[in-house]
Structure 1
């Protein structure tokens, strides 16, 4: 593990096909984060230190629709995909071995469409009669973003993009599968939540929302990619336009804190091997924690520990061609 210390629609086509920049050599893309000056502040602490008066942004002609119910967080199948036992497990292992199933491709469903989807969704999730999670408090209380479904979507898109950067560094045929499973699951979940939680009865209205969110996602991916491959000013500008809704009265310390949060996630992802990431070992670092830079020696120790762990995974369903060195 990296050293982390506690501080105060239907089917959507693969998005990265329209932004075919080469992310496969991830170290050249993310090398700018290798020597960032280390701050002894978490993103949450950095944002909280600002004392600039808050000016509420008027985004809506009327108050946004709030959830009236609660849809399942994950499907029953994805919650329990690791819980198969007995003869079913033996049969499954036999099928995988006999037919030579590509497990890295098959694994993209439960990992990207299950584990990583859950990571994206829970960050800004809220319900009116429930206390906010720690991650949701960072967005709605610390950064003072409005509590709405559309705001949740923007934050979920940001986390999708962060993961997609790492997915595009996987071998292409696997990276596109992981991206597709994740984005399909995000949009199918949004469609479900609009009907069950927001109680939108019109299928046409939901379809129009889905098209609008898809357009937003495409624009966000392009603007965040530009920021990734240029400089922090460009990336901060993209965060301001999308997550902060282009608020002219935004506290720039809040934008800086979110930029630091994004940098931290990219740094951690850059230190993970393809194998560890492909098996779903990544979780977003909470905003109240500090990511410490690690040395080359520590990085090699992490890789050796990962190799030792995977050496004990000998079942056919645990087979993988993903690298344990990069």
Structure 2
């Protein structure tokens, strides 16, 4: 059967979203433009969020000493060997806070990326407290004839959790940023971590109602991973009882329950993450690739006869 998003998958997939937009596969290419973060440079705090180690999710070719164009070229070459089907690319500015600079600096970076002939658009990862009306107006201008999306690290809808991980902003800040972005017609995404200390399964499922209420286009969910050389790794050594880690099968079941409550129009980009083993600290699933995780999720949805939005809009936390 076809679901509300127009295909036979039991969730509203990111790949399906782009096939509908572009009529073909597109591939993300990560770029590190050399931005920093107000939670690291002393503007808000130093040391960053307790869970953050940017090296764990930054490809090796992403080095800010290289130009944006050079990184795009190298990223395309890297992905061509794995995803020969892609012919257009989205430049993904993932490392640190990619709106944390004067507008003139942002123009130089993003105009260069969009000038590349193979680039169909950009996805800009940032913090909710690093945007303002002028910056968003600039991205809205770019989005008139190219694909331009902003992706906010929100991590949790609980202010108690956000304080505990030294996030440096509250949930209301995230709501304002998402709403200001969506009001300008810019596709907007959000990232949430599942399993931060103090958050039970019941809390994670209940927060879905708050996520549904946001004018989001896309959403990412990642299981908690503890990385070496972070404040969270040190806290885990001191207080291991504060942390819990799902076995893979139990986590898949949690995601199924979450998807059943998630509004159908929300595009699900990811539900788990992987990082090089050298960064892992504490329990993890080992070398389970994302492709395998998606396969397990689709199988479990079919086994349970479940699909995204099954309980929406009747879901009440």
Instruction: Indicate whether the TM-score tops 0.5.
Output: no
CA radius of gyration, larger in: 1
TM-score by length of 1: 0.30
Question: Is the helix fraction higher in 1 or 2?
Answer: 1
Question: Is the strand fraction higher in 1 or 2?
Answer: 2
